[in-house]
Amino acid sequence: MRVYLDDERPTPEGWLAVRWPEEAIALLEGGQVVELSLDHDLGDDEHGTGYDVLLWLEEAVATRGFVPPRVRVHSANSSARQKMELAIVRIERFARER
């Protein structure tokens, strides 16, 4: 399954739309996600951002041996995008080192 986390953009064909971090995390926990595309700003930072999904994923890979899907960022927020891309590099490094 390919998961697309966003609050505004249309979901590309072949992707499953989710709006909140906990929805994406629940699907990741199910083990069927092969690709994940994340927006950062979801309209309510108190509820969470795309970066929260990466924090969960990083912890799961580093401490539980979780196998991460392919992850990409489609956020227009340039500073958040950079932070998210660095998190993806860390996740990939943890996955290679286990």
pLDDT for res 60: 97
For range 14-36, the mean pLDDT = 97
CA–CA dist 8, 67 (Å, integer): 29
For residue 98, name the pLDDT band (cuts at 50, 70, 90).
confident
pLDDT tens digit sequence for 31-66: 999 999 999 999 988 899 999 999 999 999 999 999
- Give the containing element (helix H, strand E) for 38: strand 35-38
pLDDT for res 97: 87
In sequence order, the 6+-apart residues with CB closer than 8 A to the CB of 94 are 58, 61, 62
Closest by CA position to 4, among listed 39, 41, 43, 53: 39
- Structure tokens belonging to residue 26: 């629940």
